[in-house]
C-alpha cells in the first residue's frame, strides 16, 4: 500500500492439490501482475476450516501451497505471499463486517447452498459467513482489484456492498474493489467431464491433472480424456472434449487454436492426446523441480513466511486502526 501502484489481492485455499487448471487459469498469470500492481497473495487457510480438516495435513498443504506460489515464479520480494491465519486482522475485521452485513444478503449466496448440500452433516456458521471473511480479506489491504472467476463474482459484489454501506455511515474508509479484467487465463475443463471446470475436489482422479503428477500419470490421464466419435480435431463447441484438449495444448505451448488445428489436421485423437500430455509435462517439469529445490530450503521458506507475514500484518493494522477509530472502539495504549 505504497500509493504508487494499485493494490491487487487474491488467494487460494490450502485444501486439495492444485491442478493444471489452477496454474494455467490463475497462478501463471499472477506472475506477470507484480510489475503493474502491489500484490497480496494469501494462502487462505482460515477459509479451509469451514470443512473439517486433518490438522497435520492442513499445515502441510498450506506450506506446500505457499512454496508452489514461489516455484511458479512469484517473487516474495515483489509480492506479499503469506498465510491468512498469521494475520489476526482477517478475523478481527470479519467480525466487524458481520455487523454490517444483512442476513438476506448471505441467504442469497449460491456457494453456501452448494457447500451445505455437499456437507449436510456440518452446516456451520463459518460456512454461512464465509463471504464476510472474504470481504475482510480484500478490504483489509484496501485492494483496488481482485481477479475473480464467475463463481466468485457474487462474493466480490457483496464485498462492494458491505464496503459502500460502511463508507456511507463512516466516510471514506474502504477502497471499493473492482474485478480484475486483464489477460484471462485459460479455462481448463475436466478431462472426464468437459462441461465442468477442472477441480481439485473432483471425485474422479482422472478428471484433473495435478501439478505434482509425474510424467507417466499426466500422459495416462491425457490418453483417457473423454473426446467423441467424430475423429476430427476441430475447435468447436460441439466437441467439448477436443476443444478442452486444444485449450490445454495452446496454454502450454503458446500456440493459437487455429495453429493447433492446422498442426494436427488429418491426425488421430491418440496422437493428439499424446502431444497434449507431452506439452503438459514440459510445463510441469521445471515447476516441480523448483518446488523440490525450495522445499529442501526450510530456512528460506521460513524467512519468507516471517517477513511477508509481518508486511501483511503491518498493512492490515493500518486499515484496522482506521476502522476501530470510526466505529468508536477505545484507542489502544501502546
Which H or E run contains 14? none
Q: Which of 5, 187, 200, 322 is catalytic?
A: 200
Task: Please count the CA atoms within 13 angstroms of the CA of 25 that sit on its side-chain side.
Answer: 18
Q: Which of 28, 197, 221, 273 is catalytic?
A: 197
Check if the beta carbon of residue 211 is closer than 8 Å to that of residue 65.
Answer: no
Tell me the C-alpha distance between 140 and 1, whole Å.
11
Please, which residues have CB within 8 angstroms of residue 139's CB and are 6 or more apart in sequence?
93, 97, 159, 162, 163, 174, 175, 177, 319
Q: Active-site residue 296, yes or no?
A: no
Residue ranges of the alpha helices (H) in 6-54?
20-22, 28-33, 45-48
Check if the beta carbon of residue 139 is closer than 8 Å to that of residue 93.
Answer: yes
178 pairs with which residues across the strands? Answer: 145
Q: Active-site residue 255, yes or no?
A: no
* Among 123, 261, 255, 120, CA closest to 186: 255
Whole-Å CA distances, 313 to 56, 126, 196, 238, 329: 25, 23, 37, 50, 19
142 CA to centre of own chain: 19
Tell me the C-alpha distance between 107 and 120, whole Å.
16
Catalytic residues: 115, 197, 200
Amino acid at each position: 500500500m505504497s500509493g504508487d501502484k494499485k493494490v491487487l489481492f487474491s488467494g487460494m485455499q490450502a485444501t486439495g492439490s492444485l491442478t493444471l487448471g489452477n496454474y494455467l487459469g490463475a497462478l501463471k498469470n499472477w506472475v506477470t501482475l507484480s510489475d503493474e500492481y502491489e500484490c497480496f497473495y494469501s494462502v487462505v487457510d482460515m477459509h479451509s476450516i469451514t470443512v473439517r480438516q486433518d490438522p497435520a495435513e492442513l499445515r502441510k498443504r498450506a506450506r506446500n501451497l505457499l512454496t508452489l506460489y514461489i516455484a511458479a515464479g512469484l517473487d516474495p520480494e515483489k509480492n506479499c505471499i503469506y498465510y491468512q491465519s498469521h494475520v489476526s486482522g482477517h478475523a478481527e475485521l470479519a467480525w466487524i463486517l458481520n455487523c454490517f452485513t444483512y442476513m438476506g444478503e448471505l441467504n442469497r449466496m449460491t456457494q453456501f447452498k452448494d457447500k451445505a448440500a455437499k456437507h449436510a452433516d456440518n452446516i456451520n456458521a463459518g460456512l454461512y459467513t464465509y463471504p464476510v471473511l472474504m470481504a475482510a480479506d480484500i478490504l483489509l489491504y484496501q485492494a483496488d482489484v481482485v481477479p475473480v472467476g464467475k463463481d466468485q463474482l457474487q462474493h466480490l459484489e457483496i464485498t462492494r456492498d458491505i464496503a459502500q454501506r460502511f463508507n456511507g455511515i463512516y466516510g471514506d474508509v474502504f477502497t471499493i474493489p473492482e474485478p480484475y479484467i486483464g489477460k484471462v487465463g485459460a479455462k481448463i475443463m475436466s478431462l472426464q467431464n468437459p462441461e465442468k471446470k477442472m477441480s481439485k475436489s473432483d471425485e474422479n482422479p482422472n478428471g484433473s491433472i495435478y501439478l505434482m503428477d509425474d510424467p507417466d500419470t499426466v500422459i495416462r490421464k491425457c490418453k483417457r480424456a473423454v473426446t467423441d466419435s467424430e475423429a476430427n480435431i476441430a475447435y468447436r463447441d460441439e466437441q467439448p472434449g477436443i476443444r478442452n484438449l486444444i485449450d490445454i495444448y495452446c496454454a502450454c505451448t503458446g500456440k493459437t487454436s487455429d495453429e493447433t488445428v492446422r498442426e494436427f489436421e488429418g491426425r488421430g485423437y491418440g496422437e493428439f492426446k499424446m502431444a497434449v500430455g507431452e506439452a503438459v509435462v514440459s510445463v510441469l517439469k521445471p515447476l516441480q523441480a523448483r518446488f523440490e529445490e525450495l522445499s529442501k530450503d526450510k530456512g528460506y521458506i521460513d524467512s519468507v513466511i516471517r517477513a511477508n507475514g509481518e508486511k501483511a500484518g503491518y498493512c492490515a493494522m493500518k486499515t484496522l486502526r482506521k476502522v476501530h477509530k470510526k466505529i468508536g472502539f477505545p484507542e489502544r495504549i501502546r
